Amino acid sequence: MNKKNKNLTVNEEAVIRKLSLVSLLGNAVLSGFKLFAGIFGHSGAMISDAVHSFSDVFTTLVAWIGVKVSKKAADADHPYGHERMECVAALVLGLILLATGIGIGKAGVENIISGRYEALPIPGTIALIAALISIIGKEMMYWYTRYYAKLINSAAFMADAWHHRSDAFSSIGSLIGIAGARLGFPVLDSVASVLICLFILKVGYDVLKDAFAKMLDTSCGDDYEKKLILHIASQKDVVRVDMIRSRMFGNKIYIDLEIAVDGDKSLREAHAVAENVHTSVENHFPEIKHIMIHVNPA
């Protein structure tokens, strides 16, 4: 069976450009504002939050590069395409999430253990406003990126969406800490940082787990394969499905299939049945990049 042409479509290119531009500009503007508010509002938490947001600029660039490379057409050196490069990008983003979570948690634990709460400066109102704006802005960016990541089935941009949400939770911690400090409870900043650390570590773990699964040719699972079998078995002149194997390859899927066809059919007729199954499967399951079909005589 010949593979279909899976070149990057115009719609996907537009989505990738839009996501990258919105994320880069949004993070740059938010980071600059939070840094300004942290410095002039005397808030260490807000300055840390600004640094966290600046890391999103880097992660978006990594996601963009990974997605663009993964969409390159197959060539002589990479006959199966470049989809796994998106998994590499997702791995990098997952590691960044883990490092960010550990850094936030470490600083929070050290502040709690020190016990020198009275030495912490009292943040200004501008820091409180910056935290609120950051929460709203980053949550909007999360939902925006998540929607389009699902639309193009992009693991790297989905990881980037979760990084936006981790930044929103980081800003919630900043909000609690700043408000607590202004009310006379500066330790709340550090307690919130530790809780945020646990959330970010969980997200980082999930992103890494998904990326590793797609790099290791993991099966798509029984439910997916059963749905595929029902579709194939319903095709004209297919007597039964003898064997099916699925494997994830980046954000695409490869299928190895054995079907039984009437043994009295000619080679040309059996080939036509297999060709019909091939075309039907790749048309009805767009996430499947290629299906290799072996015909057994029934």
Please name the residues in contact with 258: beta carbons below 8 A apart, sequence gap of 6 or more. Answer: 241, 242, 243, 244, 293, 294, 295, 296
Residue scoring higher pLDDT (253 or 1):
253
Determine whether domain 10-215 maps to CATH 3.20.20.10. no
The pLDDT tens digits of the residues spanning 261-296 come to 999 999 999 999 999 999 999 888 988 888 999 999
Convert the pLDDT of each residue in 36-82 to its tens digit: 998 888 777 787 777 777 766 766 676 677 667 766 776 777 666 66
Which tens digit of pLDDT belongs to each residue from 93-117?
788 878 877 877 787 788 778 777 7
pLDDT of residue 55: 67
Highest averaged pLDDT of the listed ranges 89-93, 146-150, 159-163, 241-245:
241-245
Note the pLDDT tens digit of each residue in 224-237. 999 999 999 999 99
Question: Domain extents for the chain?
Answer: 10-215, 222-297
20 Cβ contact list (under 8 Å, min separation 6): 60, 61, 63, 64
Largest CA distance in the chain: 89
Fold entry, domain 222-297: Alpha-Beta Plaits (3.30.70)
**pTM of the complete model:** 0.59
In the prediction, which pLDDT does 270 show? 92
**Residues 281, 284: Cα–Cα separation, whole Å:** 5
Rg over CA atoms, the chain: 25
Q: How far is Cα 25 from Cα 31, in angstroms, rounded to an integer?
A: 10
